[in-house]
């Protein structure tokens, strides 16, 4: 267990199967047997084609959905055991998510200030310098307090709402921030600022970020470690530099081959899985039968076979 205490988050053999439809239920294996660790103060990017299970992992960590099997430990504690209201509150104080659609996080009927009021009211923070602190974090994320506070969600852009959520995380001393396609909603001028802010937060406050992205270049730029997902499975993980420079799994190889140069964006709409990759992956698993998920080097793991 000591290994799990040292990590801020440990995911072990996590699976999620969605069942939809009542009479003819359809089962979707969204996440299958995924294990990884998150060290304090690191940015870990979660990369993979559309539908590979990235958002599902984020939702499982945030306890928005329940795993079908497997475990998630937060500082050594099984999060399934976090059930009562006070413990949940404590958990959400430290583990937060910013999702693809920030509009869903805000109640359209309330002014956006409410996300800050809630911190003070329900989490019991010291209110003495409330206004000053809120202004400070808004400035940190490049928002003008006077033009932000007092607004309703529909009066702000998606990017502005996301920055508000980052400001909230700043105010709260979050341990783990799940940023799901955070950057795609930001305009170019604020992108770099927000990225640098995230890096600063991890360095100064020891916050860890799970950075879900389609943008391989961005993943390289921002993350210490990477997780590569393919069809619900974690196929390669570990040190970002190693994975990008010497990928082992055929899916990861294809991913980086399809990006001829650093600086090119991977288009998420692109039809992405040529038949060849499916065959290559099958062949790779056959060749390496019995090896399972194993080390390819120091802090570099590869799914060699699925037997
Ligand atoms: N509530 C749900 N009910 C049924 N199936 C679901 C549900 N949520 C997700 N899925 C399915 O699970 C799989 C993984 O979805 P997920 O949203 O985690 O993918 P993703 O990697 O985040 O994709 P994207 O890059 O498009 O955001 C997909 O096949 C999706 O259709
Ligand atoms: Mg997603």
SS (H, E, C) the chain: CHHHHHCCEEEEEEEEEEEECCCCCEEEEEEEEEEEEECCCCEEEEEECCCCCHHHHHHHHCCCCCCCEEEEEECCEEHHHCCCHHHHHHHHHHEEEECCCHHHHCCCCCCCCHHHHHHHHHHCCCCCCHHHHHHHHHHHCCCCHHHHCCCCHHHCCHHHHHHHHHHHHHHHCCCEEEEECCHHHCCHHHHHHHHHHHHHHHHHHCCEEEEEECCHHHHHHHCCEEEEEECCEEEEEEEHHHHHHCCCCHHHHHHHHCCCCCCCCCCCCCCCCCHHHHHHHHHHHHHCCCCCEEEEECCEEEECCCC
124: left (phi over 0), alpha (psi -120 to 50) or beta: left
Distance between CA atoms of residues 227 and 36, nearest Å: 8
Cα(29) to centroid(ligand 1), Å: 9
Is residue 46 a contact partner of residue 97, using CB atoms and an 8 Å limit?
no
Atom 26 in ligand 1: residue holding the nearest Cα? 50
- How confident is the model at residue 63, as a pLDDT? 95
- How confident is the model at residue 198, as a pLDDT? 85
- How confident is the model at residue 5, as a pLDDT? 46
- How confident is the model at residue 261, as a pLDDT? 54
> With a cut of 70, which residues of the chain have pLDDT below it?
1-5, 185, 258-274
- How confident is the model at residue 1, as a pLDDT? 43
Domain CATH code at residue 104: 3.40.50.300
> Count of alpha carbons within 13 Å of 64, Cβ hemisphere only?
13
Cα(214) to centroid(ligand 2), Å: 9
- How confident is the model at residue 266, as a pLDDT? 56
To test ligand 1's pocket by mutation, which of 29, 45, 52 has the most ligand atoms within 8 angstroms of CB?
52
Q: What's the pTM?
A: 0.88
Q: What are phi and psi of 188, to 5 degrees?
A: -50, -35
pLDDT tens-digit series, residues 47-95: 998 899 999 999 999 999 999 999 999 999 999 999 999 899 899 989 9
Cα(242) to centroid(ligand 1), Å: 28
Q: Which atom of ligand 1 is nearest to the CA of 19?
A: 4
Distance between CA atoms of residues 9 and 232, nearest Å: 19
**Residue ranges near ligand 2 (ion) with Cβ within 5 Å:** 54-55
Look up the domain containing 108 and give its range. 2-303
How many domains in the chain? 1
Q: Which atom of ligand 1 is nearest to the CA of 16?
A: 12
């Amino acid at each position: 267990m000591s290994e799990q205490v040292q990590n801020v988050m440990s995911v072990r053999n996590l699976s999620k199967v969605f069942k939809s439809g009542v009479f003819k239920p359809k089962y979707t294996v969204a996440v299958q047997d995924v294990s990884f660790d998150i060290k304090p103060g690191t940015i870990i990017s979660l990369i993979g084609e559309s539908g590979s299970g990235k958002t599902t992992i984020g939702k499982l960590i945030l306890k928005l959905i329940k795993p079908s099997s497997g475990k998630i430990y937060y500082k050594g504690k099984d999060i399934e055991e976090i059930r009562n209201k006070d413990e949940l509150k404590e958990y959400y104080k430290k583990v937060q998510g910013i999702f693809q659609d920030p509009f869903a996080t805000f109640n359209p009927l309330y002014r956006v200030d409410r996300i800050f009021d809630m911190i003070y009211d329900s989490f019991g923070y010291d209110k003495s310098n409330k206004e000053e602190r809120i202004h400070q974090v808004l400035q940190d994320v490049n928002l003008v307090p006077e033009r932000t506070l007092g607004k309703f969600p529909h009066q702000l852009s998606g990017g502005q709402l996301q920055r508000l959520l980052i400001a909230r995380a700043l105010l709260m001393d979050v341990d783990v921030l799940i940023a799901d396609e955070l950057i795609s909603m930001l305009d170019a001028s604020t992108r770099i600022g927000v990225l640098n802010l995230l890096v600063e937060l991890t360095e100064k406050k020891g916050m860890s970020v799970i950075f879900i992205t389609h943008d391989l270049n961005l993943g390289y730029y921002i993350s210490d470690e990477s997780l590569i997902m393919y069809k619900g499975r974690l196929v390669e993980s570990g040190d970002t530099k190693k994975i990008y420079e010497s990928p082992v799994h055929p899916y990861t190889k294809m991913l980086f081959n399809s990006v001829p140069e650093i600086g090119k964006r991977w288009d998420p709409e692109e039809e992405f899985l040529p038949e060849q990759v499916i065959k290559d992956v099958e062949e790779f698993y056959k060749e390496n039968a019995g090896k399972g998920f194993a080390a390819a080097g120091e802090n570099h793991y590869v799914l060699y076979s699925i037997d």
